[in-house]
Amino acid sequence: MSSPYILLKDLTLAYGDMVAVPKLNFSCDKGELIALLGPSGCGKTTTMRSIAGLLAPQSGQIYIDGKDVTNVPANKREIGLMFQSYALFPHLSGFENVAFGLRIKKLPEAEIVEKTNKGLDTVGLLHLANRKPSEMSGGQQQRLALARSMVMEPKVLLLDEPLSNLDARLRLEMRAELQRVQRETGITMIFVTHDQSEALALADRIVLMKDGLIEQIGTPDELYNKPTSVFAADFLGFENIFEVSNNVIIGDAGKMSLDFKSESGHLAWRPSGVKIGQGKYKAVVKSVAFAGERREYVLDAEIGVIMADVSAQKKSYKIGESLAFDLPKSEAHFIEQAS
């Protein structure tokens, strides 16, 4: 079995006396696209900075391509960085932005031209080589920043919230663009995001972090369908999570008996798994929002708030209206671990 391409071993990261990431361990294979996912302050950007060499670890080791780079300066690690702001040079053309790092390396002019043009072509910007960043759209600027990183032929490309500055439509387009470039070049990528849909759409594997620790690692399918903790379930869209004991659901406002048997622990339902208009439970509609093909409901039930969303083609309910609802066993996800 081949050794991992990136290995973080007992990595402890701190800012002064404040430990941000205690003893982190995870590995990444060559050519993988890994997402570091989690809320603000969970340690994902701190971890990325340490891999890049921008933050020295308090203890532990970082290996890249079999080499211990823990004490290797950032400019010697062959790491590509793409920041949230893109950090493009506004006074330089697209061509010169991409060529900048190659000129710093003092490569022959013919090689600089060849590599720069190839990089621009890879991201579909060769025809905009003479434009300045201010004359490009947000998506084009992002692709330019990507080309600038790629032409340096890094061993690893690190991306910090790469899509957060784009509008919804461009974000979808750039997801596809990032995947295409990564698949065509085979480069190993690690990207930081707080957006679960972004991580699910892009990553080969997701590292979900909480308070500097890894909560769960797995494929998008594994994290989405089989979260192992209440935190993971909540972060991945199970908005109805309740403690269960002796076949009784325990909520913030009260208790309800289950109509099926369950072990003690937690049960979680996605809003789409809640059935409304039928069932043994009663609730009052607190709010309703039209969301195109779906309607999103907030219900006030005996155990507290229930989130539900249903097809907009089905009967609609108004605020203040009473309705029946059900929490089906077929849509329930059992969670033994509480954290």
Q: How confident is the model at residue 75 (pLDDT cuts 50, 70, 90)?
A: confident
User: Is 60 exceeded by the pLDDT of residue 1?
Assistant: no
Do 92 and 103 contact (CB within 8 A), yes or no? no
Annotate 82-149 with DSSP letters as a single string. E-TT----TTS-HHHHHHHHHHHTT--HHHHHHHHHHHHHHTT-GGGTTS-GGGS-HHHHHHHHHHHH
> With bands split at pLDDT 50, 70 and 90, how would you rate the model's confidence at 337?
low
| Mean pLDDT on 220-246 | 94
Give dist(CA 256, CA 241) in Å, integer. Answer: 13
Radius of gyration of the chain (CA): 24
Does residue 25 have a pLDDT over 70? yes
Q: Hey, CA dihedral for 151, 152, 157, 160, is it positive or negative?
A: negative
What pLDDT shows up at residue 338?
Answer: 62
CB 256 within 8 A of CB 304: no
Per-domain boundaries in the chain: 6-233, 239-335
6-233 — its CATH code?
3.40.50.300
Residue with tokens 């077929």: 330
Are 301 and 318 in contact, with CB atoms under 8 Å apart? no
Average pLDDT in the 65-78 region?
A: 93
Q: How far from the centroid of its chain's Cα atoms is residue 265's Cα?
A: 27
Q: In the structure encoding, which two tokens stand for residue 11, read together?
A: 């990595």
Candidates 1.10.357.10, 2.40.50.140, 3.30.360.10, 3.40.50.300; CATH matching 239-335: 2.40.50.140
Work out the mean pLDDT of the chain and round it to a whole number: 91
Give the model's pLDDT for residue 31.
Answer: 93
Structure tokens at 173: 């387009």
pLDDT at 173: 77
> Terminal CA-to-CA distance of the chain, rounded, Å?
33
**C-alpha 63: how far from chain center:** 23
Distance, CA of 90 to CA of 134 (rounded, Å): 7
Q: Is 276 within 8 Å of 310 (Cβ atoms)?
A: yes
Per-residue model confidence (pLDDT) at position 339: 58
Position 190: which residue type? I
Rounded Cα distance, 272 and 146, in Å: 37
Question: What is the percent of the chain with per-residue pLDDT over 90, rounded to a whole number?
Answer: 72
CB 248 within 8 A of CB 264: no
Which of the four pLDDT bands, split at 50, 70 and 90, describes residue 231? very high
Tokens (6 digits) for 76? 């010697």
Query: pLDDT tens-digit profile of 114-140?
Result: 999 988 988 889 999 999 999 998 888
What are the pLDDT digits (tens) for 133-172? 999 988 888 889 888 988 888 899 999 887 776 677 777 7
User: The pTM is what?
Assistant: 0.87
87-102 mean pLDDT: 92
**Which tokens is 123 given?**
């991201």
Distance CA 31, CA 165 (A): 26
Task: Enter the DSSP assignment of 2.
Answer: P
Task: Classify each residue of 41-69 as buried b or exposed e, where b means 16 or more C-beta atoms within 10 Å of its C-beta.
Answer: ebbbbbbbbbbbbebebeebebbbeeeeb
